[in-house]
Amino acid sequence: QVQLQESGPGLVKPSQTLSLTCTVSGGSISSGSYYWSWIRQPAGKGLEWIGRIYTSGSTNYNPSLKSRVTISVDTSKNQFSLMLTSVTAADTAVYHCARGTVMASMDFWGRGTTVTVSS
């Protein structure tokens, strides 16, 4: 059973860069026709898709964040990462990573990590 675990700083100052890593266990990040996604959820609110990456390196980003987002993958470490630049309080949220398939969308999710943007 594949498992995903988010990690990274829980507090980021305004205008700085948010960096998170998702570690995949129980299977190789390179096996199968999967993509690897980031999704966020402000407290008490709905889900926002941030973007995804295939292990080929191909990416898709939400246009609302595109100028600030980079998703990368490190197959040697079985990890993929999120960078979000120039953060503001509006970026405060629980950030989830997830595995996706073309057929079924996102079938395995990490539990999420809370990131607060505050000085």
Partner 1 sequence: DIVMTQSPDSLALSLGERATINCKSSQTVLYSSNNKNYLAWYQQKPGQPPKLLIYWASTRESGVPDRFSGSGSGTDFTLTISGLQAEDVAVYYCQQYYTTPHTFGQGTKVEIK
Looking at the Cβ atoms of 16 and 54, the one nearer to partner 1 is 54
Of 73, 100, 115, 117, which one interacts with partner 1 (CB under 8 A)?
A: 100
Instruction: Count Cβ atoms below 10 Å from residue 8 Cβ, excluding itself.
Output: 15
Looking at the Cβ atoms of 29 and 100, the one nearer to partner 1 is 100
Site string for partner 1, 5-44 (x = CB under 8 A): --------------------------------x-------
**Which regions of 1-119 does DSSP assign to beta strands (E)?**
3-7, 11-12, 18-25, 34-41, 48-54, 59-61, 69-74, 79-84, 93-101, 105-109, 113-117
